[in-house]
């Protein structure tokens, strides 16, 4: 049974870079697409981007200039970097596994607050 | 970009009642690329329905999905206490993933 666990700093200062890691257990990250999705407090879900380890990445157009998603097969991890953050980037960040056209497995999520 | 509009925003029902949730796409979409999620407070979303009408693993048969083109429906035939949650529809197409804004099903 695949499990996903997000980790990273819970507090990031404005203008700095948000960095999160998703550790995958029970499956190889080589086998699927993986996505990052976020949810501002009290609001809906927003897709950030996805990755297939062979070299494909795809980002939400409005975030594309600030987002990088990468993978580390030796650690079986997916990473997210979001630069120049503002308060609008405060959210719970989830990593998820893509199954064809839906997200079939989710991590528990990690809250990142952008504040000085 | 496809925009998904869910209605109603909130559905107030009693246990045992039938819930009907709507998801309307701004243009016609493939049913294969339409999914529904359930999210309870403090929890990650959980896949309920994929390909518009297929139940995900472990989802009870009181949940059903239907629709095509621009109009999709999630139906919960008889609400159980654990079904009160927020439900999101989601579409994938042209390398973009979009979510509806959610429908909250709460206890009347």
The pLDDT assigned to A107 comes to 98
Angle (CA) B78-B81-B84 rounded to 5° is: 85
- Cβ-based contacts of B42 with chain A (< 8 Å): none
Q: Give the chain A residue whose CA is nearest to the CA of B55.
A: A104
Other residues' Cβ atoms within 10 Å of the Cβ of residue B88: 25
How far off is chain B from A106, nearest CA to CA, in Å?
7
Burial (Cβ within 10 Å: 0-12, 13-18, ≥19) of residue A94: buried
- Cβ-based contacts of A106 with chain B (< 8 Å): 44-46
Measured CA to CA, the distance from residue B50 to residue B65 in angstroms comes to 8
Q: Which of A45, A58, A106 sits opposite B99 (nearest CB)?
A: A45
pLDDT, one tens digit per residue, over B45-66 is 999 999 999 999 999 999 999 9
Query: Does position B95 have pLDDT exceeding 80, yes or no?
Result: yes
Q: Mutate which of A36, A47, A50, A101 to disrupt the B interface (most B C-beta within 10 Å)? A: A101
One pLDDT digit (tens) per residue for chain A, 116 residues: 999 999 999 999 999 999 999 999 999 999 999 999 999 999 999 999 999 988 799 999 999 999 999 999 999 999 999 999 999 999 999 999 999 999 999 999 999 999 99
Q: Mutate which of A4, A45, A47, A111 to disrupt the B interface (most B C-beta within 10 Å)? A: A45
Query: Does position B101 have pLDDT exceeding 90, yes or no?
Result: yes
**What band does B1 get if pLDDT is binned at 50, 70 and 90?**
confident
What torsion, rounded to 10 degrees, do the Cα atoms B6, A94, B30, B50 define?
A: -90
- Cβ-based contacts of B96 with chain A (< 8 Å): 47, 60-61
Residue B6 contacts A, CB cutoff 8 Å? no
Q: What separation in angstroms does the CA of B36 have from each of A18, A86, B22?
A: 29, 30, 11
Measured CA to CA, the distance from residue B55 to residue B49 in angstroms comes to 5
Residue B13 contacts A, CB cutoff 8 Å? no
Query: A44 and B102 in contact by Cβ < 8 A?
Result: yes
Q: Which of B1, B95, B101 sits opposite A58 (nearest CB)?
A: B95
- Cβ-based contacts of B45 with chain A (< 8 Å): 45, 94, 103, 106
């Amino acid at each position: 049974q695949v499990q996903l666990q997000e980790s990273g700093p819970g507090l990031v200062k404005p203008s700095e870079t948000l960095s999160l890691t998703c550790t995958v257990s029970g499956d190889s990250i080589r086998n699927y697409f993986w996505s990052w999705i976020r949810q501002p407090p009290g609001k809906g879900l927003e897709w950030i981007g996805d990755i297939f380890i062979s070299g494909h990445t795809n980002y939400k157009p409005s975030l594309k200039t600030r987002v990088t998603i990468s993978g580390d097969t030796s650690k079986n991890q997916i990473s997210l970097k979001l630069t120049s953050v503002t308060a609008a980037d405060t959210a719970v960040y989830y990593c998820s596994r893509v199954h064809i056209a839906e997200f079939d497995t989710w991590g528990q999520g990690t809250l990142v607050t952008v504040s000085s | 970009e496809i925009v998904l509009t869910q209605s109603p925003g909130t559905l107030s029902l009693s246990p045992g009642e039938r819930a009907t949730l709507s998801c309307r796409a701004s243009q016609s979409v493939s049913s294969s690329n339409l999914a529904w999620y359930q999210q309870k407070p403090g929890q990650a979303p959980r896949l309920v329905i994929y390909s518009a009408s297929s139940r995900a693993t472990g989802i009870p048969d009181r949940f059903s999905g239907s629709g095509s083109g621009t109009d999709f429906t999630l139906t919960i035939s008889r609400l159980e206490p654990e079904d009160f949650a927020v439900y999101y529809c989601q579409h994938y197409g042209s390398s973009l993933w979009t979510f509806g804004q959610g429908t909250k099903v709460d206890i009347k």
